[in-house]
Structure 1
Amino acid sequence: MTIEVVWASHALPELNAAFGDFVARHIDGCTGFRDFVSFGVIENDQLIACVIYNNYYPQHGVIEFSAASISKRWLTRPVLKEMFGYPFEQLGCQMVAVRVAETNRAMAKICEDFGFNKYVIPRLHGRDEAEIIFTFTDDQWANHAVNRKSRS
């Protein structure tokens, strides 16, 4: 199994748009993204996941991201380091946020298992559905098990 991370941005607009479309197609009710940076996860020449970063507020040190996948194999240690390295190390953010519909149990479980803070906002995803705002800080990332050296 060969997994590769491919980044896209305004410098590669077609690729960036394709990654954005991938995420939008895989999130119920998502109509797309504007002004974003993205990366795709490629396994054996097939796109299996994408991450979109948008709503960047440098003055607050906060950025949102959205992710979608067609395989559970995408969340490897190297991919996680890329995913959190961009906001925390490259941009200098102090927090990332992820918005998840309460019916998206798979993504909510990933965020909960990873250690995100969870805030349920009634009706934020529509009259009859709450949305969960998950947050994760640079301190949480610095102390996360992904960053601990494995024993040899």
Structure 2
Amino acid sequence: MRIIWGGANNATVNRMIADFVASHIAGCERGFADFVTMGVVEDGGLLAGVVFHDYAPEAGVIELSAASTSKRWLTRPVLKGMFAYPFQEIGCQMVVLRVSERNAGMIAIAERFGFSPHRIPRLRGREEAEIVFTLTDNDWRAHPVNQR
């Protein structure tokens, strides 16, 4: 597995990763605007993607959305790369992740990586709540993945 980055300097890759992520998230048909992406490639194909979007530099907050076709993508190097961008490169103090209350797999992953959940009824429509997860830079630095 290897990590690739999209962004202003690599617009084609940026759009490809964003489209991949949007196509794997229910309700994300409109896609993303003003974003930077990270992809995980294996055997020449995109295995996973992360979209960093809705950056609020004045607050030091950015949202991320992610999708994959395999659970194997969340390795230590990928996690370190994924969180180095918001916390080290652009100086965020918090990352936000929004997840449907029905997505038990992603909820478990977010909690395992130290995100704090905040359930908001009807945020995904009349019949579906959304969990807004937050992860501060302090909580990320204290996570076991960073202790080696």
Both structures adopt the same fold (TM-score exceeding 0.5): yes
Matched position secondary structure for 1:50 = strand
What's the counterpart of residue 81 of structure 1?
A: 80
What's the counterpart of residue 124 of structure 2?
A: 125
Q: Distance in 2 between matches of 1:22 and 1:6?
A: 14
Identity %: 54
What's the counterpart of residue 137 of structure 2?
A: 138
What's the counterpart of residue 60 of structure 1?
A: 59
Quote the offset at 1:108 in angstroms.
1.0
Could you list the structure 1 runs, at least 4 aligned residues long, displaced by more than 3 angstroms after superposition: none
What's the counterpart of residue 4 of structure 2?
A: 6
CA RMSD after TM alignment: 0.7
**What amino acid is aligned across from residue 66 of structure 1 in structure 2?**
S
Quote the offset at 1:106 in angstroms.
1.2
Q: Distance in 2 between matches of 1:14 and 1:104?
A: 30
The two structures have a TM-score, normalised by structure 1, of 0.94
Runs of 5+ in structure 1 lacking a partner?
none
Q: Distance in 2 between matches of 1:9 and 1:44?
A: 22
Deviation string 1:90-149 (CA, Å, 9 cap, x unpaired) is: 011000000011111111111012121000000000011000000000001111111111
The answer to whether the 8 Å contact 2:48/2:73 transfers is yes
Runs of 5+ in structure 2 lacking a partner?
none
Q: Distance in 2 between matches of 1:126 and 1:11?
A: 36
Q: Distance in 2 between matches of 1:14 and 1:102?
A: 32
The two structures have a TM-score, normalised by structure 2, of 0.97
What's the counterpart of residue 38 of structure 1?
A: 37
